[in-house]
Amino acid sequence: MLPDFAISVTGDPAPQGSKRHVGNGRMIEASAKLPDWRTAVALQTRAAMKDQKWDGYGEHVPVRVVLTFRLKRPTSLPKITKRHARKPDLDKLIRSTMDALTICGLLWDDGQVFRIEAVKTYAGPGEDTGCSIFTWRAER
């Protein structure tokens, strides 16, 4: 079945979740790349929503989401290594991306997601880093 919405976001996927203490009770995100990643997801998704004439999911619509993160392959990694089994954590990549999808209005709230599938891969030669995002509306 074709997805309701599909986009490939380019940028450096950044995790969300770890915070560090900077004094006086202040905590900041450990990943300096997080604001850039969230902005990239939100802006590119908004543009695609206009292009696809997207009317959005309502407040209580159950949604299925599939995310494929394409991360930069370290030059020191052997070519035979296929699976991305290093940092960043997959759950933290999901968190940052889902929050951005809520901020831009694709989702009413990320709590309406009843199923999520996600994978981390290495970007291939000539392929941009980023994330492919597919969503489907489900029957209640």
The CATH code that applies to domain 5-137 is 3.30.1330.70
Sheet holding 63-71, edge to edge: 5-10, 130-137, 63-71, 113-122
Domain boundaries, the chain: 5-137
Lowest mean pLDDT among 3-7, 21-25, 32-36, 67-71: 21-25
State pLDDT tens for residues 41-88.
999 999 999 888 777 777 788 999 999 999 998 888 887 787 878 889
Question: Percent helix, strand, coil in the chain (nearest 5)?
Answer: 25, 30, 45
Tell the residue number behind the tokens 């709230």, with chain if given. 109
Are the beta carbons of 52 and 5 closer than 8 angstroms?
A: yes
